[in-house]
């Protein structure tokens, strides 16, 4: 759903770089 993606994008863009990296690591781990 595009609305959810937009909300997630805004939240993600407001994260600090360390938090973004951690978030991406978790996502990649879940997707494996």
**pTM higher than the cut 0.75:** no
Taking the domains of the chain in order of start, what are their residue ranges? 2-31
So what's the pLDDT on residue 25?
92
User: According to the model, what pLDDT value does residue 23 have?
Assistant: 86
Distance, in Å, from the CA atom of 21 to the CA atom of 27, rounded to the nearest integer, reads: 10
pLDDT at 24: 87
| 15 phi and psi angles, rounded to 5 deg | -75, 155
pLDDT for 32: 81
* pLDDT tens-digit map of 1-32: 789 888 888 887 888 989 889 988 988 888 88
- Gap between the Cα atoms of 26 and 18, Å rounded: 12
> Residue 11 is encoded by which pair of tokens?
């939240």
């Amino acid at each position: 759903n595009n609305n959810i993606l937009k909300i997630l994008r805004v939240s993600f863009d407001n994260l600090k770089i360390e938090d973004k990296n951690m978030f991406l690591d978790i996502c990649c781990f879940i997707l494996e």
